[in-house]
Amino acid sequence: MSKNQTNLQIWIDADGCPVVKETIDIAKEYQIPVTLVKNHGVYLESDYATIITVEISNDAADFYILTHMKPGDIVVSQDNGLCAMVLSKKGYCIDQNGKIINEDNIDFLLQTRHISRKNRMQKQKGPKIKKREDQDDLLFVTALKKLLNEIRT
């Protein structure tokens, strides 16, 4: 690991995150600390990860992560708004499907998020979300390992 990455940490926006176990397994393999941030309504346990419980309110987990993360940390989240703020703090962001969110795609993702929200408010149907499959987890694992290897070199 390069000198500036010796304190790398992985943060998981854990409310509803389907890849908590996979992320923890990879963190163990790479010997990287991982912190799960969740609200009181979500039950999680781990013998490896630090678990932080925040109040049940909009964005409480996001604000906790943003307050405590450091430049170079990785955040696992499906919240593109959080990812935009992580990028502004010089962190890395990956979603549950293995998509790396970066400066090249964040504007498009935020615009898509805005349009989807407007459609929901107007009670328009959005795309049907397909059931998560084992292949989705494999794509995430491959992408997270690739990101870690890129950061470490």
Q: What is the CATH number of the domain that holds 23?
A: 3.40.50
Mean pLDDT, range 75-104, rounded to an integer: 93
Note whether residue 66 is domain-resident: yes
pTM of the model: 0.83
* Residue-level pLDDT at 43: 86
Q: Using CA atoms, how far apart are residues 29 and 58, in angstroms rounded to an integer?
A: 33
Note whether residue 47 is domain-resident: yes
Higher pLDDT, 52 or 132: 52
Note whether residue 114 is domain-resident: no
Q: Measure the N-to-C terminal CA separation of the chain; round to a whole number of Å.
A: 6
* Count of domains for the chain: 1
Note whether residue 117 is domain-resident: no
- Is pLDDT at 55 greater than 50 in this prediction? yes
Note whether residue 8 is domain-resident: yes
Point out the least confidently predicted range of 64-73, 89-98, 129-138.
Answer: 129-138
**What does each C-alpha distance from 145 to 16, 81, 106, 131 come to in angstroms?**
22, 24, 21, 24
The string of pLDDT tens digits covering residues 1-50 is 343 445 899 999 998 899 999 999 999 999 999 999 998 888 899 999 99
